[in-house]
Amino acid sequence: MSGPQRWDPARYAENARFVADLGQPVLELLAPQPGERILDLGCGDGALTRTLVARGCKVVGVDSSPEQIAAAQALGLDARVMAGEELAFDGEFDAVFSNAALHWMPDADRVLEGVARALRPGGRFVAECGGDGCVETIHGALIAGLDARGLDGRAASPWYFPTVVDYAARLARAGFEVPEIRLFPRPTPLPGALGGWLATFAESFTRVLPPEQRAGFLAEVEQRVRPTLCDAGGRWTADYVRLRFRAVRTT
């Protein structure tokens, strides 16, 4: 069985709160001003959307996960179920913001077309996502584990981790100037064992396996990457690489 990643807000809160916590630098790059109209693309459970609202912005959050949107709405946010490839806005926003979401949207050109359309001329798109080489050790082990079972591991991967050259070219084609874009490693300590991270983020890989094989597969992946990502004290650090940029709609 295959299909999109499903999100469980409780599990996300337990294993992935660091995603929003580590979003502060990209929020600072956005430099939101009170009264600005901002679209939070891939808002998840609304943790950063709420921060933007607290700074006096008028914010709409969108995410393809109905479960995450329900969690965001429970915070009192204007949050709507909408895929990044299906953005239905026209010149309404001063800025589009996105943290840790674009790498789940492989049709980047379609996303950027919708972002450009959503912005007023001169509006900015400020975002951070996984970039080229992100979680390479884990990603490689997931793919190799499926390949070893006679499946196509790469085809099961939901992630798109672009290079600077690739993403900057797509932004330019979509009508943006790109004053800032950079790729950098950000080793990320995990709140628990890798199993929690895999349960939260790697469902697209396990869904292609029969249910009775899934736990064994994830245990094998964890064992395979332990020498690289787990220290002698049992602390896990994921090999994140981030792509962070600020782009401005020119037309």
Contact residues toward ligand BEZ (CB under 6 A) are: 19, 100, 103, 130, 134-135, 159, 201, 240
CA pair distance 189, 220, nearest whole angstrom: 21
Closest by Cα among 184, 24, 41 to 123? 41
Sign of the C-alpha dihedral computed for residues 11, 14, 16 and 17 taken in this order: positive
Nearer to ligand BEZ, 123 or 125 (CB): 125
Distance of CA 233 to the CA centre of its chain: 29
Tokens of 18: 């660091």
Nearer to ligand BEZ, 83 or 119 (CB): 83
Q: Considering the complex, what minimum distance in angstroms separates the CB of residue 236 from ligand BEZ?
A: 14
Nearer to ligand BEZ, 36 or 63 (CB): 63
Nearer to ligand BEZ, 176 or 200 (CB): 200
In this structure, are residues 5 and 63 in contact, taking their beta carbons and an 8 Å threshold? Answer: no
Residue of this chain nearest to ligand BEZ (CB atom): 100
Q: Considering the complex, what minimum distance in angstroms separates the CB of residue 138 from ligand BEZ?
A: 8
Buried/exposed code over 225-236 (b: 16+ C-beta within 10 A; e: otherwise):
beeebbeeeeeb
Nearer to ligand BEZ, 3 or 233 (CB): 3
In this structure, are residues 139 and 110 in contact, taking their beta carbons and an 8 Å threshold? Answer: no
